[in-house]
Structure 1
Amino acid sequence: MLDTNLKTQLKAYLERVTQPFEIVASLDDGEKSQEMLGLLQDIVGLTDKITLKTDGNDQRRPSFALNRPNGNISLRFAGIPMGHEFTSLVLALLQVGGHPSKLAADVIEQIKGLQGEFNFETYFSLSCQNCPDVVQALNLMAVLNPNIRHVAIDGALFQDEVERRQIMSVPSIYLNGELFGQGRMGEEEILAKLDTGAAARDAEKIGAKEAFEVLVVGGGPAGAAAAIYAARKGIRTGVAAERFGGQVLDTMAIENFISVQETEGPKLARALEEHVRAYDVDIMNLQRAAALIPASGENGLHEVKLENGASLKAKTLILATGARWREMNVPGEQEYRGRGVAYCPHCDGPLFKGKRVAVIGGGNSGVEAAIDLAGIVAHVTLLEYGDTLKADAVLQRKLNSLPNVTVLKQAQTTEVKGDGQKVNGLVYKDRSTEESHNLELEGIFVQIGLLPNSEWLKGTLELSRFGEIVVDAKGQTSIPGVFAAGDVTTVPYKQIVIAVGEGAKASLSAFDHLIRTSAPA
């Protein structure tokens, strides 16, 4: 199952296992069970700390559990955790085997202190780059707290469950049989939903913090670069981020980040966070900005109010809140979000195997999505609002070569249709004739560009007609001492490498501002 190179790497990792445990497999006569058995035999052949049993009686087959002799862990994989989930498997083996987690000590204690019964089920797809964060978080929580049980389920392998629960987006997380959440979540996000007093405690801690010299709002590439450049100057630096990594977390292949030939969004996001944490930076994750109160007077402090009620103050601010996928804003879109309306073809595409889908948008993202989906689904209809596709010529040639793709130009989506449970079609208007048409399908992937995360700043500083923060060549906004960087600004070309550079520039500008405003007259 595992090639020689992968076995060598895994053997090195398994040397960190200190506590013996067993793998208990529940198998049947199917091909996938044989694949799983081969994987598990490869694993136990690399260490004497792990034993394999094949007499499991779990109803999901193939599946396997990781059990300690004392039986205080309930952690199971239903499916073969390869692809993006192979890292989840390796971490689970290490953590069940006694290797400590790098999770912050206070978060570990919070997990251990949870009371009650928590039976989690996570549905993932092997091509989903968001799923491993959820699987790894819940696996670790199951290792740390015997009240928490977790099963990670490959939706493509257990299609009957996916159909029964009408799952059309991954990761989908169930707690005690009820839908708990969808999309990327880490330990802190999960804890925030389980521990209802956590938000109030966070607000109290944040409100007690002293003023920063530089406060970065946002944790994407621009925010990370800004924080690093500020911290290297030796000044008091803080980062308040809704989710560290930003939109990069939702990006699949990255091949244009100079000096890194090829990587994936979540991997780059982890590297950014590790780099920031290498410096003396106060990172406040899961914090969404709600309002900006500019400083009054030359030596005053800017204030950022957070949604949890806390406030942060700073001499200078760097706003790097990024952008998000633009929505169609048509009837039915929100009602069927996650039930046929999707925004990540890499994550959710496998759930639509053999079905009919539409892709909205003819730019690079839309055409790339249509090409990817064409290899999975029965048919793709791409709808472009204009009279020509905007994607690169090489992508258009590939798209036009595919037999199961239809391209509709001058097509304006006007409504998402459904049966109350899931999408069953859409309505579009032919802009050349003004006639309306119905398309019967099971999935809609929206790829129509980005929307800046700047609503909380309206009426406070200058925004463009597109909602972007207006900045000058140094990243300065219309408010002295408040700078901005990345996709939320008017800087053209929304690229990771540009955001990193703009973040560094804004940070240097903020430091220059501090020097000049604090100098004696």
Structure 2
Amino acid sequence: MLDANIGTQLKGYLDNIKRPIELIAALDDSAKAKEMRDLLQEIADMSSQINFIEDADSDPRKPSFQIKQPQGDEKIRFAGIPMGHEFTSLVLALLHTGGHPTRLDEEVIEQIKSLEGEYHFETYISLSCQNCPEVVQSLNVMAVHNPNISHTMIDGALYQEEVDKRQIMAVPTVYLNGENFGQGRMTLPEIIAKLDTGAVKREAEKINQKDDFDVLIIGGGPAGASASIYASRKGIRTGIVAERFGGQVMDTMAIENFISVKETEGPKLVAALEEHVKEYEVDVMNLQRAKALSKKDKMVEVELESGAILSSKTVILATGARWRELGVPGEREYRGHGVAYCPHCDGPLFKGKPVAVIGGGNSGVEAAIDLAGIVGHVTLIEFNGELRADAVLQKKLFSLDNVEVITGAQTTEITGADGKVNGLIYVDRATEQKHTVSLNAVFVQIGLLPNTDWLQDTIDLSKFGEIEIDNHGQTSLPGVFAAGDVTTIPYKQIIMAMGDGARAALGAFDYIIRNEFDEKDTKAA
């Protein structure tokens, strides 16, 4: 089942297993069960520490399997074949259950071990979802470190009846003890913070004790990462405040225009960025959201939503952008229940069903092309009189026989019933006639909005809400710089954001050496 190269690599990884583990499978007569049996047997044959056992009564979900120690309780289950993006989740689960150490700080491990109560997590995923593995791997590693935690990964495409019953229309969707726990990408610290209610207060107290920074960067995307590296290389005290490291790039599937790298994926690029930042003395404060910005004498203060306050000689705003919403009735009501913004993640949940894509730019047309290979029918709706995507993408789109393109159409409402989307209404802009399209999902692909809501009346913004900057990255507030998609730079590209981050860091450094700061201005001399 595994190709030769992957098999060789996996066998090498499995040599790190230090104690016996069992793969216990609940199988039926389906083709997927046979595929699972073949995979598990192949894995067991690679290591003398692994024993493959078939037990039809081990789980009501068939096919599924659990990974456990011979004398241990069930901990980690896979209801589905963890290939695609989830193959790494399988490998790590084997290694960690087999005694190979996890790559967590001791402080995090102790926080997991100290969680009290019984926690059974279930995560519904799709194998094409790039956000799902982090959630699956986070919950699996928690199960390894705490005997009161167990986790089951469930392939939504394989267990469609279960997905329909629970009305799951977005992945990853996590249930805790039978109740909805969360939806969308979640990091391990985010999950722990939701369970450990005192974590926010403790972290705020720690942040309040930090000395002043020379450069404080708000945002952990490509622009923020680049700025932190350039600033730290100057030998100045550098910090990053980020809601999640990587930002919008974590939701980007295919990246084929990053110079010198022929192709990659968002999560892989973010992992490389994070490793690069770790090479320098950058204080990364993750899971922190900025609330307000103000000037205090020569210093700039940033208040966080946790209540903590940070002070710095300069600040670089690199908060990026978020998906632009349609702003029509039904959109927010059915978000996560048929209204989606990530076709790669949620497309498999609508296999064989009719869906719509709103937006005729590159992202919209690419989404329609991707979805056409999964769903029953795609209706692409574009506001303008013609599509705006590249010609090569349009050619591919119009070659597909299960795609309909409607231009000159304004979506006015997303309709639903029983808690999920059942259609949309659009108006033909030429005739002003209303039309209704019956469907099961709407994928919105109409661009991005800058994350500047918290900066209103603080610095100058364009009519589109972008931060206005000069050719050094300086904003209207002295000592405050900005970089990346949140600014007025004309082209929102990863490589542009990185260059912009470098420019802002150099601009901030130039500002510091040209202005005098003494002890009365700062907490740390």
**TM-score for the superposition, normalised by structure 2:** 0.97
Q: How does 1:51-70 map to 2 (within 5 A)?
A: 51-57=51-57, 58-70=59-71
1:74 aligns with 75
**Residue 234 (structure 1) aligned with residue 241 (structure 2):** no
**Deviation of the 1:402 alpha carbon:** 1.1
8 Å contact from structure 1 (residues 412, 430) kept in 2: yes
CA separation in 1, counterparts of 2:230 and 2:99?
37
Could you report, residue by residue, the CA deviation over 1:58-89 in whole angstroms, capped at 9, with x for unpaired residues? 11111111111331451100110000000111
8 Å contact from structure 1 (residues 24, 56) kept in 2: no
Q: How does 1:14-33 map to 2 (within 5 A)?
A: 14-33=14-33
Query: Given the superposition, is the C-alpha separation of residues 338 and 102 from structure 1 closer, same or farther in structure 2, using an over 3 Å criterion?
Result: same
CA separation in 2, counterparts of 1:81 and 1:305?
42
2:2 aligns with 2
Using the TM superposition, name which of 402-411 and 317-326 deviates more: 402-411
1:366 aligns with 364
CA separation in 1, counterparts of 2:73 and 2:210?
39
**Residue 350 (structure 1) aligned with residue 348 (structure 2):** yes
Could you list the runs of 5+ residues in structure 1 that have no partner in the other structure?
Answer: none
2:260 aligns with 259
- The residue matched to 1:119 in structure 2 has which SS? strand
- The residue matched to 1:460 in structure 2 has which SS? coil
Using the TM superposition, name which of 82-91 and 103-112 deviates more: 103-112
CA separation in 2, counterparts of 1:72 and 1:197?
29
CA separation in 1, counterparts of 2:19 and 2:263?
36
**Residue 167 (structure 1) aligned with residue 165 (structure 2):** no
Could you report, residue by residue, the CA deviation over 1:372-420 in whole angstroms, capped at 9, with x for unpaired residues? 1111111111110111110001111111111111111111111110014
2:272 aligns with 271
Q: Please, which of 402, 405, 410 is the counterpart of residue 403 of structure 2?
A: 405
2:416 aligns with 418
Amino acid at match of 1:382: L
Amino acid at match of 1:330: V
8 Å contact from structure 2 (residues 66, 74) kept in 1: no
- The residue matched to 1:53 in structure 2 has which SS? strand
8 Å contact from structure 1 (residues 73, 146) kept in 2: no
**Deviation of the 1:519 alpha carbon:** 8.3
**Deviation of the 1:295 alpha carbon:** 3.4
Could you report, residue by residue, the CA deviation over 1:9-49 in whole angstroms, capped at 9, with x for unpaired residues? 01111111112211111111111111111111111111111
8 Å contact from structure 2 (residues 316, 482) kept in 1: yes
Structure 1 runs (4+) deviating above 2 angstroms are none
CA separation in 1, counterparts of 2:35 and 2:74?
25
2:247 aligns with 246
Amino acid at match of 2:435: H
8 Å contact from structure 1 (residues 319, 483) kept in 2: yes
Using the TM superposition, name which of 428-437 and 281-290 deviates more: 428-437
Amino acid at match of 2:391: A
1:474 aligns with 472
8 Å contact from structure 1 (residues 425, 439) kept in 2: yes
Could you report, residue by residue, the CA deviation over 1:233-256 in whole angstroms, capped at 9, with x for unpaired residues? 111111000110000000001111
8 Å contact from structure 1 (residues 73, 143) kept in 2: no
2:523 aligns with none
- The residue matched to 2:189 in structure 1 has which SS? helix
**Deviation of the 1:312 alpha carbon:** 0.9
Could you list the runs of 5+ residues in structure 2 that have no partner in the other structure?
Answer: 519-525
CA separation in 2, counterparts of 1:239 and 1:404?
46
1:128 aligns with 129
Q: How does 1:458-497 map to 2 (within 5 A)?
A: 458-497=456-495
Could you report, residue by residue, the CA deviation over 1:102-134 in whole angstroms, capped at 9, with x for unpaired residues? 122211111111000111000000100000000
Amino acid at match of 1:496: I
CA separation in 2, counterparts of 1:398 and 1:4?
33
CA separation in 1, counterparts of 2:204 and 2:324?
30
**Deviation of the 1:477 alpha carbon:** 0.7
2:522 aligns with none
CA separation in 2, counterparts of 1:327 and 1:90?
38
1:319 aligns with 317
Using the TM superposition, name which of 59-68 and 12-21 deviates more: 12-21
**Deviation of the 1:366 alpha carbon:** 0.3
Query: Given the superposition, is the C-alpha separation of residues 398 and 480 from structure 1 closer, same or farther in structure 2, using an over 3 Å criterion?
Result: same
Amino acid at match of 1:76: R
- The residue matched to 1:17 in structure 2 has which SS? coil
2:382 aligns with 384
Query: Given the superposition, is the C-alpha separation of residues 519 and 153 from structure 1 closer, same or farther in structure 2, using an over 3 Å criterion?
Result: closer
Could you report, residue by residue, the CA deviation over 1:315-371 in whole angstroms, capped at 9, with x for unpaired residues? 011110000110011111111000000000000001111111110000000000011
8 Å contact from structure 1 (residues 288, 306) kept in 2: yes
8 Å contact from structure 1 (residues 323, 452) kept in 2: yes
8 Å contact from structure 1 (residues 73, 142) kept in 2: no
- The residue matched to 1:240 in structure 2 has which SS? strand
**Residue 93 (structure 1) aligned with residue 91 (structure 2):** no
Amino acid at match of 1:49: Q
Query: Given the superposition, is the C-alpha separation of residues 459 and 337 from structure 1 closer, same or farther in structure 2, using an over 3 Å criterion?
Result: same
Q: Superposition RMSD on alpha carbons, in Å?
A: 1.1
CA separation in 1, counterparts of 2:141 and 2:73?
13
CA separation in 1, counterparts of 2:257 and 2:285?
29
Amino acid at match of 2:370: D
Amino acid at match of 2:146: N
CA separation in 2, counterparts of 1:153 and 1:258?
37
CA separation in 2, counterparts of 1:255 and 1:190?
32
CA separation in 1, counterparts of 2:466 and 2:101?
43
8 Å contact from structure 2 (residues 28, 56) kept in 1: no
**Residue 304 (structure 1) aligned with residue 306 (structure 2):** no
8 Å contact from structure 1 (residues 302, 313) kept in 2: yes
Amino acid at match of 1:450: L
**Deviation of the 1:518 alpha carbon:** 3.1
Amino acid at match of 1:477: T
CA separation in 2, counterparts of 1:194 and 1:130?
21
- The residue matched to 1:279 in structure 2 has which SS? coil
Q: How does 1:78-227 map to 2 (within 5 A)?
A: 78-227=79-228
Amino acid at match of 1:516: R
8 Å contact from structure 1 (residues 333, 341) kept in 2: yes
CA separation in 1, counterparts of 2:407 and 2:56?
54
Amino acid at match of 1:336: Y
**Deviation of the 1:513 alpha carbon:** 1.0
Identity of aligned residues (%): 67
Amino acid at match of 2:2: L
CA separation in 2, counterparts of 1:474 and 1:295?
22
**Residue 341 (structure 1) aligned with residue 342 (structure 2):** no
CA separation in 1, counterparts of 2:63 and 2:146?
25
- The residue matched to 2:147 in structure 1 has which SS? coil
**TM-score for the superposition, normalised by structure 1:** 0.98
CA separation in 1, counterparts of 2:48 and 2:206?
46
Amino acid at match of 2:310: L
